[in-house]
Amino acid sequence: MSVEFKKNGNGKCPVMHGSMTEQSTPTHWWPKNLNLDILHQHDTKTNPMDKKFDYKKEVKKLNFKGIKKDLLKLMTDSQEWWPADLGHYGGLFIRMAWHSAGTYRIADGRGGSGTGNHRFAPLNSWPDNTNLDKARRLLWPIKKKYGNRISWADLMILAGNMAYESMGLKMYGFSFGREDIWHPEKDVYWGSEKEWLQDKRYSNNGNRKSLANPLAAVVMGLIYVNPEGVDGKPDPLRTAHDVRETFGRMAMNDEETCALTVGGHSVGRAHGNGDASLLGPEPEAGEIHEQGFGWNRKNGGGLGVNQVTSGIQGAWTTHPNKWDDTYLKLLLDYEWELKKSPAGANQWEPINMKEEDKPVDLGDPSIKRNPIMTDADMAMKMDPSYRKISEKFRKDHKHMKDSFTRAWFKLTHRDMGAKKYYIGPDSPKEDLIWQDPVPKGKKGFSVIKAKKLIEAAGLNNSDLISTAWDSARTYRRTDKRGGANGARIRLLPQNKWEGNEPVRLNKVLNKLEKVAKKVKASLADIIVLAGNVGLERSIKKAGIKIKVPFSPGRGDANQDQTDIDSFKVLEPLHDAFRNWVKEEYAVSPEEMMLDRASLMNLSAKEMTVLIGGMRVLDTNHGGTKHGVFTDKIGVLTNDFFVNLTNMKFVWKPKGKDLYEIVDRKTKKTKYTATRVDLVFGSNSILRSYSEVYAQDDNKGKFVRDFVDVWTKVMNADR
């Protein structure tokens, strides 16, 4: 057994301690090793719920009216251990919901409120989330009461909605259906910084658009922008660039961004009435007796009046516990100057404000205080585009309310996918373009007739399989976008993507559209069915009889139902499964493969079997033969793995990311390969899978496993 002698500076006795009980792994010796763990997160072993537990069924049994009533009561039920601001928790719960949802980024669909990830590190301990642990603790009695019928993920967003309603704003809608995870998401890249709030995300600090992808916040530890200004230096026009870029990366346009800023700061207040250096450690860094309760004041104070959260101190509006139109009135009607909060933060305060426009002091309602604005608020006044929208909202508060509630709904639901995933009585009936709507498809067509027509269409197996793959591969589990449903591969922007080989694609679609028309089926269904036909023919050539499952009912979206700008982020810049990379990137092809496999919700085994099958099926982009380790091209065999693991061959570099497989005896080149081919032999974990599929007794298993994962990919978005 491995033995570690644990000791410390206090001279305590060493103890036999053979397990890795702290966050460290033996692979830190080889930091460039592939992190295959991201393909195996959220294993059933981590889930405490019963195997038969189905949250989507349980939440439908929830007492919807009862829980909303309890949340409304909670808003004004001030607790001694964390008093409510002027008797109302609304601002706190709105901030919690916002910061839970606001981690979403459109580039990879990661982040967002859909999993309850906000409960875990690093999010639960980000500087921007200071004191949000209190909001979750305040919610605990309600979570305890309603139990399995409400997830933390749903509850945190619902609390934000009810906070607004308790302050007088009727919300656009709300959907249940977010299912909790039970450990932090391992696949989310939050940034490379080793310290909070470091300015390292820009290749060119003068160009704020150079923010590293896929990140959607300016520094580690913030949701969006620094409220004090770029790098902590107030400059509303520079901050406007940061706001536009970060909100754009969350799929928000200028009007939605302005609406969210106005609506978000129309209620609540910021806290910086004390010395920030006196704050104790964040939840993840606290001592065990703190019980995950973070940011406690070292002197024991800091409740209510003397809180320090952002460091900025004050309310934005005259009545911070009431929804009204005073935010824009104050912002636009008054001039503002830079001041310092008691905690030393930069903030803007009004010049010569009327007493009736000032909010009351948090500790003494008989005293009036200046309201405050952050640099981001001032951007709504100083930036020409935001100013124009702000003026429009000022003139039409009804329009502003509608814009805000819709933008809030988008903010809190963007990662939930299509409307079919929405649950509950308050789910809007309206189709919204950012939900990627798809009409229902027909199920009653003759599959047998369709298959015969596909057979007679004169298309080869490679074309059929590649087209079906290209149609389905866009799906990502993170925000449930993309996939074969909708047949958007025939629409802009997908029909022009280089990765889809537009010329070949057009040829295939022209013939499949005729089939769809004849059998009165959706093109989406026919594309998938055609892929199955090509696959079944390839399996038959291998001498194996397996039927590839097919489930009809996909619909065809039209161009008006497709947000071109939003879909641009789904464009594949690489596809390891078709052995293609658009251009040379800083990240290795095998790492990009791992990221794509994670987004497609594939395990390491599934990724391996797909690569091996797609190679021998001759589906490489552009018809290249890299990785096609077989003499029986187009036949679904395990030859890829057989030849990859055969020691009669030696691999030799031949160019950038290109290799030759050479016979050791004859010195003749037999095959060529890329890095993504070779990694299945070089990485010890992936090689273990390759060896399984290379075995003589696993030829049938390989085909069965390939069909299973192929079917999973084709149905991922359903």
Any idea which residues carry the catalytic annotation? 99
Following DSSP, what letter does each residue of 502-564 receive, concatenated? Answer: HHHHHHHHHHHHHHHHHHT--HHHHHHHHHHHHHHHHHHHTT---PPP------B--GGG--H
Peptide bond into 384 cis (omega under 30): no
- Asked whether 433 and 567 are in contact (CB, 8 A), the reply is no
Alpha-carbon gap, residue 555 to 568, rounded angstroms? 21
- Residue 249, classed as helix, strand or coil, is coil
Report strand pairing: 269-270 vs 314-315: antiparallel
The dihedral region occupied by 116, where left means phi > 0, alpha psi between -120 and 50, and beta the remainder, is left
Alpha-carbon gap, residue 35 to 178, rounded angstroms? 27
Q: Taking Cα atoms as reference points, which of 209, 227, 268, 231 lies closest to residue 89? A: 268
Alpha-carbon gap, residue 85 to 576, rounded angstroms? 54
Rg, Å, the chain Cα set: 28
Alpha-carbon gap, residue 536 to 636, rounded angstroms? 9
Place of tokens 């920030």: 276
- Cross-strand pairs, 297: 279
List Cβ<8 Å contacts ≥24 apart for 499-504.
499/470, 499/571, 499/572, 499/573, 499/574, 499/575, 499/578, 499/580, 499/582, 499/621, 500/470, 501/466, 501/470, 501/621, 501/622, 504/463, 504/466
Alpha-carbon gap, residue 717 to 486, rounded angstroms? 10
Following DSSP, what letter does each residue of 433-444 receive, concatenated? Answer: GGG---PPPP--
Alpha-carbon gap, residue 31 to 33, rounded angstroms? 5
Place of tokens 């405490």: 48
Residue 161 host element (H or E): helix 152-166
